[in-house]
Structure 1
């Protein structure tokens, strides 16, 4: 009868140090993992910045295409004698110029 509790104690003594060591290692490295995660969240990598710039350029190009189509319609009306269409075409030209200046590739 004495053999069973003694065997359990010996087995527990062999198994528990591994668990204790793993827990201690987890506790010791936790602040480092938290700090590195905060740094990752606070900084933007070069690839992320490049992706953002690419999205902005595509969006700007799409807007310029839309403005160009609208400008062509207004210019056609202007050529037909519509003075307001001439003003709109000039305003669209200015808007397109502003977009081109802000987003030089």
Structure 2
């Protein structure tokens, strides 16, 4: 009985040493992990920034497409003699030009 008791105590002490070492390691590295997580949350990676820029560009392109369709309809109405459509077409065209200037150029610089 005494031998079994000694073996149990020996095994428990070895196991506890591993647990204590792991706990000490976790406590020692906790500040580094916390700061690292904070930096990750506070900064935007390049790929995230690129994705955001891409979404913004697509939204502007969609808006230009809608304005272009509206402009063509207003221009047609203007040609049919509807005076207010001429003014509307002019304003729509101006809005389209502002958006087009903010879009990246498609000069064939090798990027797809």
> What TM-score do the two structures reach when normalised by structure 1?
0.93
Structure 1 position 58, deviation (Å)? 0.9
Aligned equivalents of 1:34, 1:103: Cα separation in 2: 40
Equivalent residue for 1:17? 17
Alignment of 1:1-105 (within 5 A): 1-105=1-105
Aligned equivalents of 1:78, 1:17: Cα separation in 2: 87
Aligned equivalents of 1:77, 1:2: Cα separation in 2: 104
Aligned equivalents of 2:64, 2:17: Cα separation in 1: 67
Structure 1 position 103, deviation (Å)? 3.2
**Matched residues, number:** 105
Give structure 2 stretches of 5+ with no counterpart: 106-112
Give structure 1 stretches of 5+ with no counterpart: none
Q: Could you report, residue by residue, the CA deviation over 1:47-97 in whole angstroms, capped at 9, with x for unpaired residues?
A: 111111111111111110111001000000000110110011011011111
Higher helix share: 1
Aligned equivalents of 2:16, 2:54: Cα separation in 1: 54
Consecutive aligned runs of 4 or more in structure 1 exceeding 6 Å deviation? none
> What TM-score do the two structures reach when normalised by structure 2?
0.87
Q: CA RMSD in A?
A: 1.2
